[in-house]
Structure 1
Amino acid sequence: MSRGTAGAEEQTGVARSLAHRVPDLGALELLLAVARLGSLGAAARELGITQPAASSRVRSMERQLGVALVDRSPRGSRLTDAGALVTDWARRIVEAAEAFDAGAQALRDRRDSRLRVAASMTIAEYLLPGWLLALRAQRPDTAVSLHAGNSTVVAERLLSGEADLGFVEGLTVPPGLDSVVIAHDQLIVVAAPVHPWARRRRPLAAAELALTPLILREKGSGTRQVLDTALGGLARPLIELSSTTAVKAAAVGGAGPAVLSELAVGDELALRRLVRVPVEGVSLARDLRAVWPTGHRPTGPARDLLSLTRG
């Protein structure tokens, strides 16, 4: 056994021994209350426990320490000499615990005062605004910042500690992240009404879609990853753009066909600014996921936002 391993085990042994030899905080608080109030019954009432439970806790503490702490009589309860000494030690321990608790609360307050979110474009533009409005109703004092980028950028910000919670649209979860599916989405082919595909009578074949230059998101985006995987490869992009809004605007302007989330084109389809082009022989469904660094389950505002997305 190495010296480091032996040292670690020795420290663990000491910690376990202390846990068995030193009374817990509840017992020490009871002893301080008895010293202050001069009555076991009054101390029990202050701490919200029954007098028999308080008596049992004192006896257990006396057995643990091996000394008598409290003399009980019809006139009340009085600390023994040993009890008075233990009470002084207990006061220091409880004060240290209160300082620890105050520090931990300060850390929680700092954590809860802000939330940094990173999300891929479709989620950032079409889903997150509603979720963040609902979060604001729950946590009006939490300042939220949102960074929109592709799935690769989202992963980088989470792993570098620049974001507390992320959302991605790709087929796979980036390495180093845990995830949960929060919604489902469908990619669809769209074109301006003047484009020949808008007047097709038969669905578009997957092979033809794969061979056609399209208006596409940049490499690293979840939309492009899903499309590329589903079709087994893509033709060279007609135009490559870095946001869903830009791709949609180019398609509406007649630059060419595009593949976009159903979430992004509802208004354009309703107003006939874009036309949906049916496709056969391929599924373009995808999962939308919340992601966070492996082993670090979201807490505080991030946990609350995650709950809202799944509601």
Structure 2
Amino acid sequence: MTLSARLPDLRTLELFCEVLAGGSIGAAARAQDITQQSASARLRALEVQVGAVLLVRGPRGAAPTPAGVVLVEWAQRLLEVAGQVDTALGALREQGRSELSITASMTVAEHLVPGWLVALRSRQLRAAHAPTAVSLRATNTAAVVAAVREGTAQIGFTEGSQPPVGLSWRAVGQDELVAVVGPGHPWARRRGPVQVRDLVAAPLVCREVGSGTRQVLDEALAAAGHAPVVPLLELTTATAVREAVRAGAAAAVLSRLAVASDVAAGALVARQVAGVDLSRTLRAVWASGQHPPAGPARDLVALAAARRSTPGSAREPRLR
């Protein structure tokens, strides 16, 4: 249903009803915190819009015409419903401020979101705001996009190579995939990067199709003229991939963020891959609009962008 241009806006109808309730344009103007001149102009515009004279103006105030009596009855019913909708929207907004549902890709959920949530809680404490109840689901990038589209998550964080189609987004970090092996692997003794030709010929432990890590790897190989990898093992979490590599199963390609602690501890060795671009942008995504939903979701995205992770930070392994 498409409403016609004859339907006045709610504030003007509210002004009209207040004039008839008090019998004075001046009193109605003061109730809406506007000048009497502005109120009179709006009422004249209302009459033009409706196509009928609605008020008889006199020295003792304003009185409704027959058309005005009809309109005020309809307007009061409409304003009553609008008030109920306004109250309901206010309740939804308050719920949005007290609850925050997040869906994030594995790398972002494990290595970045916890720090962002601590910063959000600290900000709320400083502002004396009630704490937000947060639910976080860690999954792959494809499932993140689906959750945001379906409305089961207010905000999502992805790690794919391209922004998801049909969603709004903001970059919150930069990341890069690297080849990782156990200390006994031949690549661990190399002094320099792994060549892409060696990578595609080697048995690899990989994340599943649908993960941002796998998407970036396959698309980067395709751009360099190579076929997608055929994994030796396909696992659904970066933790499982790391454990398989540490056990000596094979090499893997993972986020620098995901392997930083293992590389620092000497449990894994990380190498850059020459001949292919494995960089990627980490993004916050939401359903629509230029900005994320108002409240904690918007605050969280702002904090994440301000603290955005970039290659070479202290949290990431030094590569050779």
Q: TM-score range by the shorter chain?
A: 0.7 to 0.9
Does the 8 A contact of 2:98 with 2:130 survive in 1? no
Residue of structure 2 equivalent to 1:4: none
Q: Secondary structure at the match of 1:116?
A: strand
Residue of structure 1 equivalent to 2:4: 16
Gap change, CA 1:182 and 1:95, over 3 Å in 2: same
Residue of structure 2 equivalent to 1:186: 176
- Unaligned runs of 5+ residues in structure 2 are 307-320
Aligned with residue 310 of structure 1, among 300, 305, 311: 305
Q: Structure 1 length as normaliser, TM-score?
A: 0.75
Residue of structure 2 equivalent to 1:77: 61
Aligned with residue 268 of structure 2, among 267, 274, 277: 274
Please report how far the alpha carbon of residue 200 of structure 1 lies from its aligned counterpart in structure 2 after TM superposition.
1.6
The residue type paired with residue 146 of structure 1 is L
Residue of structure 1 equivalent to 2:110: 125
* Equivalences for residues 130-209 of structure 1 within 5 A: 130-136=115-121, 137=123, 140=130, 142-172=132-162, 179-209=169-199
Please report how far the alpha carbon of residue 128 of structure 1 lies from its aligned counterpart in structure 2 after TM superposition.
1.8
* CA–CA separation in structure 1 for the residues paired with 2:136 and 2:6: 47
- Unaligned runs of 5+ residues in structure 1 are 1-10
Is the counterpart of residue 54 in structure 1 residue 66 in structure 2?
no
* Residues 33-66 of structure 1, C-alpha deviations (whole Å, 9 max, x = no match): 3344454333322211112222333344455553
* CA–CA separation in structure 2 for the residues paired with 1:43 and 1:202: 78
Q: Secondary structure at the match of 1:227?
A: helix
* CA–CA separation in structure 2 for the residues paired with 1:268 and 1:256: 16
* CA–CA separation in structure 1 for the residues paired with 2:230 and 2:12: 73
* Equivalences for residues 160-309 of structure 1 within 5 A: 160-172=150-162, 179-231=169-221, 232-233=226-227, 236-292=230-286, 298-300=292-294, 302-309=297-304
Q: Cα RMSD over matched residues?
A: 3.5
Please report how far the alpha carbon of residue 185 of structure 1 lies from its aligned counterpart in structure 2 after TM superposition.
0.9
What percentage of aligned pairs have identical amino acids? 46
Does the 8 A contact of 2:177 with 2:254 survive in 1? yes
Q: Which has the larger radius of gyration?
A: 1
Please report how far the alpha carbon of residue 186 of structure 1 lies from its aligned counterpart in structure 2 after TM superposition.
0.8
* CA–CA separation in structure 2 for the residues paired with 1:72 and 1:141: 56
Q: Secondary structure at the match of 2:210?
A: coil
Does the 8 A contact of 2:158 with 2:282 survive in 1? yes
The residue type paired with residue 209 of structure 1 is L
Does the 8 A contact of 2:56 with 2:65 survive in 1? no
The residue type paired with residue 42 of structure 1 is A
Gap change, CA 1:203 and 1:107, over 3 Å in 2: closer
Please report how far the alpha carbon of residue 72 of structure 1 lies from its aligned counterpart in structure 2 after TM superposition.
3.4
Does the 8 A contact of 1:33 with 1:43 survive in 2? yes
* Equivalences for residues 107-118 of structure 1 within 5 A: 107-110=92-95, 113-118=98-103
